[in-house]
Amino acid sequence: MTPAISRRDFLKMSGALVVSFGAAAPFDPLAIAQGPFDTHPSRIDPNKLDSWLAIGEDGSIIAYTGKCDLGQGMLTAQTQLVAEELCVPISRVRLFQCDTDTTPDQGTTSGSQSTPTNFNTRNLAQAAATAREALLAMASHTLGVPADQLSAHGGIIRASNGDHIGYTQLLAGKHFDITVNPAAKRIAPADWKVLGQPVASMDRLALMTGTFEFVHNVHVAGMVHGRVVRPPQIGATVASVDESSVQSIPGLIKVVVRNNFVGVVAEKQWQAAQAAKSLTVAWNPVPALPSQQNFYDEIRKQPSRDFLLVNSQDVDDKLKSSVQVLKATYFHPYQAHGSIGASCAVADVQADSATIWSPTQSVYPTQHGLAALTGLPLDNVRVIFVRGSGCYGLNAADTVSFDAALLSQAVQRPVRVQLTRQDEFVSENYGSACVIEEQVGVDASGMIAAWDCTSWSVSLGNRPGYNKPGNVITGMLAGFEPDTVTPRAATEPTGELRNGSNTVPPYLAGCIGEKCGGNGLIRSERVLSRTVNSPFFTGPLRSPLRLQNTFAHESFMDEIAARVKADPVAYRLKHLTDTRIIDVLKAASQQANWDPRPSPKPGSPRAGVVSGRGVACVAYEGDNGYSAAVAEVEVNPVTGEIRPKRFVVAIDVGPISNPDGLRNQIEGGILQGTSRALSEEITWDDQKVTSIDWHTYHTLPLGIDVPVVESLLINRPGANATGAGETSITLAAAAIGNAVFDATGARLRAVPFTPDRVKAALAVRA
């Protein structure tokens, strides 16, 4: 079991400050919604140092974080951070993560925001720096030596005269009882001893030996097993439930129906699984689903909610006066999170309180949702994070936590719910389908004179956040409304550029009035995002919309370069102004031994296996990590198969906390991006989703000819730390598609690049 560390003492000190987040924020597709990731007031006051750090009686440093380890290495990196600032080895740090009773409310662990939030000059990093300075000040007082003549090492503070005192003696079981000091000085990266080192992820030994506790392994005394029965289609309502259909199943405890939520509880998991399979539920019919074949046209016929991100007002004129105008439209399907482990949670809901062991990325928002679902007071609901299978965004972690709570409340016993893979495939919050229309005018010198982009995405539901349990399937079935899109015309952009979804291509100046927040020099620019209602739930999937938009922008940039017969790297560089994206692009192309010439490759044969190289780059969310990738691929024109052989990925994420963890994220990201580019797609017929297992939703297995991945880490100690886990994945589809064009002259504008699509593109190539 996860240690349930009581923080009653901290709670007493910090008072019962509960702030309501109930004011409904207007739906904003630009913020699509990685959820709130900043630090919020809760019972555990983030302004107080004691909310973040304590010195244990054994000399250990106890730290509390609201950013949890989902397999991306946050536990290790944050442990390094605390160790660094407190000048102790990592073995002395005990980091507790994501528990509404013990850790500060840091919203959601998502959006590549954990590093920016906790590794710069706020939150955990600032608390740790404050603690070190406070300990030095206490030692100065005790030893009678000025603080600047003291040094800390291994939990001992020493003066030059040899006098010394330990952290434990200084604090002696007391609290710091001070606020986090925004002026406390972080240890400079040049002086780092623990941060910046390739520390092996601290969970690995337990993982490799099968002793790690996942949420799937949580056992609570008296626990029984639940399964859910999902409607065949989103929006279907229960007509009737025939309980007699399962009465013969031994061990059955209860069939639970609440509004349109249906589940079963049994003594054993196998019994619950059989009951869920056997239960006869009649669902009221709903209108047929839109045709998948025409879906990308259908999207563009719907009333939309529009945002203009930039509009220089001169785009139409510039397009008219251009020497040539290029247009292309790109298509991206719905994709699933497809965690290898179907989601699981355990809930113990009693008459007046509840504890939920959950793989959620957002213990506090989920606590709010659970309070709403169970009707219990917020403060009586405790959500304890226990890691699930890698989630890559909003998989079914939140919804299964809701499932477990509803079933536990109905039977008044602790209930473990294991979803099936099919449960998750048919009703999870998919990554959005997108249609992106691109248009540029090129001047006589071959430079881009004007860029016009319209990016369509679809939306239903989202992260539940603090006040929208209906944004995931269970909440909606239980009677809460999901967020839908209210159509609205765009207004002219004001304020600063908001490019959190990479809707604005990096080559644009991104000017609103006098302020230019883009990464490039094109000043004649218009970028419109349009969001329409989705027939399926949607939500953040690793690099949400940033990946889809970047696929379009970077493929289109390649098309433009080819049209003007320019080298794709040099042509990009001519339109970029931001040194950080320029540097990663140069670094990746140099490392890849890039042969500067236009694409397609001259003299590439029309038959037999051919090879080519392609490039893509991104300033993630405009300024949250910079990356460029070169892909080398082989294409078999007979089978239509694409075989990536090598990726070179350069990355700049500011000061690097853990190079090993960063490489792991780059490697996994580029290969997951490859799987999404080559094979992954949600499919449906007129009644239901048809991609329901690993035979119908296609992913690249381990048994592929794994390409070489070379990661080039550009350390920038002077810059702020940025996110890293969503950068390389963003580049895969465009880099591969561009390499296919280089090899064959065939352009791929629709993900995934299935063999049929490749053959079709080859058939129509120039």
Partner 1 sequence: MASISLKVNGDVHTVDVDPQTPLLYVLTDELQLRGPKFGCGVAQCGACTVMLEGKSVRSCVMPVSYVKDHEVITLEGIGTPEKPHPIQQAFLDEGAAQCGFCLSGVILTAKSMLDQNPKATDEQIREAFHGVLCRCFTHLRMMRAIKRYQEKRA
Binding stretches for partner 1 (CB under 8 A):
70-73, 200-201, 203-214, 216-217, 219, 225, 250, 268-271, 338-342, 344, 387-390, 392, 418, 420-421, 660, 664, 667-669, 671-672, 674-675, 693-695, 699-706, 709
Token digits of residue 93: 């740090």
Buried b / exposed e across 468-495, counting CB within 10 Å, b at 16+? bbbbbbbbbbbebebbebeeeeeeebee
654, two tokens: 């500011």
Nearer to partner 1, 209 or 494 (CB): 209
Least spacing, CB of residue 507 vs partner 1, in Å? 29
**Which has the closest alpha carbon to 43: 441, 432, 364?**
364
What is the pairing mode between strands 261-266 and 224-228? antiparallel
Question: Under 8 Å CB-to-CB from 246, ≥6 apart: which residues?
Answer: 252, 255, 264, 275, 278, 279
Smallest gap, in angstroms, from Cβ of residue 203 to partner 1?
Answer: 7
The distance of closest approach from Cβ of residue 217 to partner 1 in the complex, given in angstroms and rounded to an integer, is: 5
Nearest partner of 432 among 533, 527, 359, 339, judged by Cα = 533
Cβ nearer to partner 1, comparing 399 with 599: 399
Q: CA-based angle 322:325:326, to the nearest 5?
A: 150
Among residues 213 and 379, whose Cβ is nearest to partner 1? 213
Q: How far is the CB of 3 from partner 1 (least distance, A)?
A: 17
Q: Which CB atom, from 38 or from 660, has the smaller least distance to partner 1?
A: 660
Interatomic CA distance for residues 690 and 699, integer angstroms? 15
Residue closer to partner 1 (CB basis): 220 or 257: 220
Query: Phi, psi (5° rounding) for residue 572?
Result: -60, -50
629/711 Cα distance (integer angstroms): 9
Closer to partner 1 by CB, 622 or 669: give it. Answer: 669
Cα distance between residue 659 and residue 715, in whole Å: 9
- DSSP conformation letters of 311-357: E-S-HHHHHHTSSEEEEEEEEE--B----SSPPEEEEEE-SS-EEEE
The encoded tokens of residue 705 equal: 């000819």
* Closest separation in Å from C-beta 693 to partner 1: 6
Write down the least CB distance from residue 689 to partner 1, Å.
Answer: 16
Q: Return the number of the residue (104 or 668) whose C-beta is nearest partner 1.
A: 668
Nearest distance in Å: CB 216, partner 1: 6
Cβ-based nearer residue to partner 1, 417 or 743: 417
Structural tokens at position 380: 């009586």
User: Of 100 and 672, which CB lies nearer to partner 1 in the complex structure?
Assistant: 672
User: What's the min distance (Å) between Cβ of 541 and partner 1?
Assistant: 12
Maximum Cα interatomic distance, the chain, rounded to a whole number of Å: 83
Least distance to partner 1, CB of residue 530, Å: 31
* Residue 492 structure tokens: 């002219």
Shortest Å, Cβ 429 to partner 1: 16
* 332 Cβ contact list (under 8 Å, min separation 6): 432, 433, 434, 435, 436, 547, 548, 551, 552, 750, 751
Sort 232 into a burial class: Cβ within 10 Å, 0-12 / 13-18 / 19+.
Answer: middle
Q: Which residues pair with 619 in a beta bridge?
A: 626
Q: Between residues 44 and 633, which has the closer beta carbon with respect to partner 1?
A: 633
Phi-psi region of 397 (alpha: psi -120 to 50; beta: other; left: phi over 0): alpha
Q: Which is nearer to partner 1, 156 or 700 (CB)?
A: 700
Q: How far is the CB of 604 from partner 1 (least distance, A)?
A: 27
Q: What's the closest the beta carbon of residue 178 comes to partner 1, in angstroms?
A: 37
CA distance linking residue 669 with residue 676, whole number of Å = 10
Contact 480, 297 (CB under 8 A): no
Residue 393 CA to its chain's centroid (Å): 4
**In angstroms, what is the minimal distance from the CB of 627 to partner 1?**
16
Minimum CB separation of residue 352 from partner 1 in Å reads 29
Nearer to partner 1, 482 or 544 (CB): 544
Q: Is the preceding omega at residue 752 within 30 degrees of 0, hence cis?
A: yes
Cβ closer to partner 1: 375 or 703?
Answer: 703
Residues 6 or more apart whose CB falls under 8 angstroms from that of 610 comprise 601, 604, 634, 635, 637, 743, 744
Region label for 593, one of left (φ > 0), alpha (ψ between -120 and 50) or beta (otherwise): left
- For partner 1, give the closer residue by CB, 70 or 376: 70
The span from the CA of 387 to the CA of 216, in Å, is 9
